[in-house]
Amino acid sequence: MSMRLPFMKNKQKEEPEQLPPENVPAHVAIIMDGNGRWAKKRGLPRVAGHREGVTVVKEVVRAASKMNVQILTLYTFSTENWKRPKSEIDFIMKLPKEFLHVYLPELMENNVKLETIGDIDALPEHTKEVILYAKDKTKNNNGLILNFALNYGSRYEIMQAVRQMMTDVDSAKLSIEKLDEHTFSSYLYTKGLTDPDLLIRTSGEQRISNFLLWQLAYTEFWFTDVLWPDFNKDILRQAIEDYQQRKRRYGGI
Ligand code: FPP
């Protein structure tokens, strides 16, 4: 359970996004899990869970923006998700278009900048096209960064980084002596983004699933049994309030 600060006691229910302003996590990453189980419980096809999941994404983006979160990274499709039935993959690949078709004007209005991590070149052309369009359209926005992990796998990301670093050493663009953690980070998809402060995973699973293995080194983890389609802004606020009570020591005392 989260602890409330004294001045929060009479918080208005209508303003659930209000948080103690200090110590809001700058970067929140979410593993949105449980769409399939949510649908199954209702006797619906799995894809109904994904569709409902998109609605939750919209609510969470709005709330995170109001709470002054700076970066929201959402695990939308992993490199392992290609193992799913083609019909489910095809459905998921249509979601960015559905989402952005309706929601892009609101992203613009709220000054949200869309970014991606992962290999988007390998996505179907129609998916890639809409993502690139929205990234370009929002590129000058300087509010919340909405970062979709799309065709993302952390081991692949690290391996690509090593490959590129070796190439750069070969061509004398990088010297081995100069290679440090900062330089290493700059070869990752997340270049320029701070590491997540808070990782949320829904649906009761407690594992990382090849997500941001390097970047989560000092991240606070928060798990909930709630399935992603049942997640909402109040649960996000609860996760953040819990985070605000934690002491981060980064290995110190
Ligand atoms: C995990 O639930 C969910 C996914 C792999 C897909 C996540 C996609 C969305 C929530 C849609 C968001 C997309 C956009 C573009 C806004 P699962 O299917 O693994 O659930 P299960 O573990 O219950 O089977």
Domain ranges of the chain: 27-152+196-244
The SS3 call for residue 148 is strand
Ligand 1 neighbourhood includes 229 CB (under 6 angstroms): no
57 CB near ligand 1 (under 6 Å): yes
Ligand 1 centroid – CA 227 distance (Å): 10
> What tens digit of pLDDT does each residue of 207-251 get?
999 999 999 999 999 999 999 999 999 999 999 999 999 988 888
Token duo for residue 77 = 């499709």
pLDDT of residue 253: 82
3-state secondary structure 82-133: HHCCHHHHHHHHHHHHHHHHHHHHHHHHCCCEEEEECCHHHCCHHHHHHHHH
Q: How far apart are CA 91 and CA 93, in angstroms?
A: 5
- Residues tagged active-site: 33, 81
Cα(185) to centroid of ligand 1, in Å?
27
List, in sequence order, every residue forming a beta bridge with 149; answer none if it has no partner. Answer: 75, 117
Superfamily of 27-152+196-244 according to CATH = Decaprenyl diphosphate synthase-like (3.40.1180.10)
Q: Is the pLDDT assigned to residue 80 strictly greater than 50? A: yes
Give per-residue pLDDT as tens, 90-132: 999 999 999 999 999 999 999 999 999 999 999 999 999 999 9
Q: What pLDDT was estimated at residue 2?
A: 43
pLDDT of residue 54: 97
Atom of ligand 1 minimally distant from the CA of 98: 15
Can you give the pLDDT at residue 20? 72
Asked if the model's pLDDT at residue 12 lies above 80, the reply is: no
Rounded CA separation 177/208 (Å): 32
Return the pLDDT at 249: 86
Answer yes or no: is pLDDT of 82 > 90: yes
Over residues 84-92, mean pLDDT:
98
Residue nearest to atom 1 of ligand 1 (CA): 33
**pLDDT at 14 exceeding the cut of 50:** no
pLDDT one-digit tens code per residue, 45-74: 999 999 999 999 999 999 999 999 999 999
At what angle are helices 233-245 and 46-66 packed, to 10 degrees? 60
pLDDT reported for residue 8: 42
* Per-residue tokens: 134: 């929205």
Categorize the per-residue pLDDT at 18 as very low, low, confident or very high, splitting at 50, 70 and 90: low
Q: Which pLDDT score, from 0 to 100, does residue 17 have?
A: 59
For residue 184, CA distances in Å to 26, 170, 190 come to 22, 16, 11
pLDDT digits (tens, 9 = 90+) for 173-214: 999 999 999 999 999 999 999 999 999 999 999 999 999 999
Answer whether 73's CB lies under 8 Å from 200's CB.
no
